[in-house]
């Protein structure tokens, strides 16, 4: 049986070092807890193992980690495992050191008498308001396993949409950057070589060649200034986007920009309906559900519309009118929500709307990718082709002169 070295703390906070024989690390943890000790480090054969604050992979917690926790937590709770044991298992098998630390801290808080909701509330970077509200509803109803399954399903759909949108925007951005780098290289390094050759011709150069040489001179003389100017503009734009007014205008632009605007709009609607529907299904109060949906919308235009809806409901009005007045929700969405509200099937309608728009996002992204790819290739070919042809046009003229 292997020997483990451990460092633990007692209830007074005193550090205790020792060794013990155990079948595995979990047995060591159980042994220490039976002694009223809190493990901090467990080592096997002098090598660090994954203890309460184990040394796993680096990196901050991500949304994918919340999905794994939700799904595994629901499975183990449904299997009848005690909450403390579930938290211990999740901490032990966590790959990231940051996740191990979070799960151990949650476990410690729960052992101290805090509810699961109160324990995870201390870690807002991993568990947002949506997650907290769902867990609170699950604990209150005694259906924590089912609620966490719903959370995992919701987060998986959110991640899928994010990946789709990222793939739609990253490809054209990457090709555009590559085109800019290639063009700059040609103008700064290649064109000057041809310029020296052309300076001996003593005749007027073709217009395309003159344009290319003019652009080459500008880049050679002001490239550093242009880079600094672009960096300043980007930094200023980022700061502006963090202000309330700047964020609202940027989010409004996202929803109305050509080509990409319809995709961002569909994503926002899908997330709004999916979040609100999931919260209502979990039994969260409609006013609180709308507040959470607004905060997690990811778009200030949608957030403002949802908060107006919340105010409308508080005043005794319907949920639909503010959404119609916002102008960012299609008639189909508002009418289905209106029907769901009047028939008492709001959660079902919201789920159907979310499914529809998630499919729309998938279709739009696929179509956009297939359309943009050849356009970008043609654009890159035209830019590079123009530079190459403009450089060879004087050479054709030289050949004509020599042939005479």
Q: Look up tokens 């002001």; give the residue.
A: 222
289: closest CA among 126, 134, 63, 119?
134
What per-residue confidence (pLDDT) applies to 53? 41
The 3 state secondary structure assigned to the chain is: CCEEEEEEECCCCCEEEEEEECCCHHHHHHHHHHCCCEEEEEEECCEECCCCCCCCECCCCCHHHHHHHHHHHHHHHHCCCCHHHHHHHHHHHCCEHHHHHHHHHHHHHHHCCCCHHHHHCCCCCCCCHHHHHHHHHHHHHCCHHHHHHHHHHHHHHHHHHHHHHHHHHHHHHHHHHHHHHHHHHHHHHHHHHHHHHHCCCCCCCCHHHHHHHHHHHHHHHHHHHHHHHHHHHHHHHHHHHHCHHHHHHHHHHHHHCCCCHHHHHHHHHHHHHHHHHHHHHCCCCHHHHHHHHHHCCCCHHHHHHHHHHHHHHHCCCCCHHHHHHHCCCCHHHHHHHHHHHHHCCHHHHHHHHHHHHHHHHHHHHHHHHHHHHHHHHHHHHHHHHHHHHHHHHHHHHHHHHHHC
What per-residue confidence (pLDDT) applies to 402? 60
Domain boundary among 122, 155, 188: 155
- Domain for residue 163, yes or no? no
Query: Does 221 share its domain with 118?
Result: no
What per-residue confidence (pLDDT) applies to 59? 66
Q: What is the largest CA-CA distance in the chain?
A: 103
Mean pLDDT in runs of 10 for the chain (404 residues)? Answer: 70 74 71 73 50 51 83 81 83 82 89 87 86 84 84 85 78 81 86 78 75 88 88 91 87 84 86 88 85 84 86 81 81 89 87 89 79 80 86 74 60
- Domain for residue 165, yes or no? no
Query: Does 195 share its domain with 253?
Result: yes
Query: Does 254 share its domain with 338?
Result: yes
Domain of 139, in residue numbers: 63-155
- Domain for residue 58, yes or no? no
Query: Does 109 share its domain with 212?
Result: no
Domain boundary among 128, 155, 182: 155
Query: Does 178 share its domain with 291?
Result: yes
What per-residue confidence (pLDDT) applies to 26? 64
- Domain for residue 292, yes or no? yes
Query: Does 189 share its domain with 144?
Result: no
- Domain for residue 57, yes or no? no
Q: For residue 243, give the CATH number of its domain.
A: 1.20.81.30
What per-residue confidence (pLDDT) applies to 222? 86
What per-residue confidence (pLDDT) applies to 47? 40
- Domain for residue 184, yes or no? yes
What per-residue confidence (pLDDT) applies to 401? 59
Query: Does 26 share its domain with 131?
Result: no
Domain boundary among 97, 131, 155: 155
- Domain for residue 162, yes or no? no
Work out how many domains the chain is built from and give that number: 3
What per-residue confidence (pLDDT) applies to 374? 82
Query: Does 328 share its domain with 218?
Result: yes
Query: Does 77 share its domain with 32?
Result: no
Query: Does 289 share its domain with 379?
Result: yes
Query: Does 231 share its domain with 144?
Result: no
Query: Does 132 share its domain with 191?
Result: no
């Amino acid at each position: 049986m292997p020997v483990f070295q451990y460092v633990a703390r007692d209830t007074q906070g005193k550090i205790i070092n020792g060794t013990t024989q155990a079948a595995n690390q979990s047995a060591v943890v159980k042994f220490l807890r039976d002694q009223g000790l809190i493990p901090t480090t467990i080592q096997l054969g002098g090598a660090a193992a994954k203890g309460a604050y184990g040394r796993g992979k680096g990196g901050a917690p991500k949304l994918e980690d919340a999905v794994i926790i939700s799904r595994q937590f629901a499975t183990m709770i449904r299997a009848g495992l005690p909450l403390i044991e579930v938290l211990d298992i999740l901490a032990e098998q966590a790959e990231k050191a940051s996740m191990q630390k979070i799960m151990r801290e949650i476990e410690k808080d729960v052992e101290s008498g805090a509810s699961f909701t109160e324990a995870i509330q201390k870690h807002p970077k991993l568990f947002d308001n949506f997650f907290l509200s769902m867990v609170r509803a699950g604990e209150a109803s005694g259906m924590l396993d089912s609620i966490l399954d719903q959370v995992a399903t919701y987060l998986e759909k959110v991640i899928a949409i994010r990946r789709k949108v990222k793939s739609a925007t990253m490809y054209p951005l990457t090709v555009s950057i590559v085109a800019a780098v290639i063009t700059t290289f040609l103008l700064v390094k290649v064109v000057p070589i041809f310029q020296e050759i052309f300076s001996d011709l003593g005749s007027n150069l073709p217009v395309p060649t003159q344009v290319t040489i003019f652009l080459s001179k500008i880049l050679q003389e002001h490239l550093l200034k242009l880079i600094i100017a672009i960096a300043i503009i980007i930094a200023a734009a980022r700061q502006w986007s963090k202000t309330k007014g700047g964020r609202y205008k940027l989010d409004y632009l996202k929803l109305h920009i050509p080509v990409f605007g319809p995709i961002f709009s569909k994503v926002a609607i899908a997330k709004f309906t999916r979040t609100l529907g999931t919260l209502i299904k979990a039994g969260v109060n409609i006013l609180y559900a709308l507040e959470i949906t607004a905060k997690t919308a990811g778009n200030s235009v949608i957030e403002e519309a949802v908060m107006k809806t919340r105010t409308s409901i508080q005043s005794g009005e319907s949920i639909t009118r503010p959404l119609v007045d916002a102008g960012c929700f299609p008639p189909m969405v508002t009418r289905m929500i209106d029907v769901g509200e009047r028939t008492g099937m709001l959660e079902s309608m919201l789920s159907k709307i979310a499914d529809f728009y998630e499919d729309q996002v998938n279709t739009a992204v696929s179509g956009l990718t297939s359309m943009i790819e050849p356009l970008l290739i043609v654009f890159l070919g035209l830019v590079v082709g123009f530079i190459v042809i403009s450089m060879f046009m004087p050479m054709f003229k030289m050949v004509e002169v020599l042939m005479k």
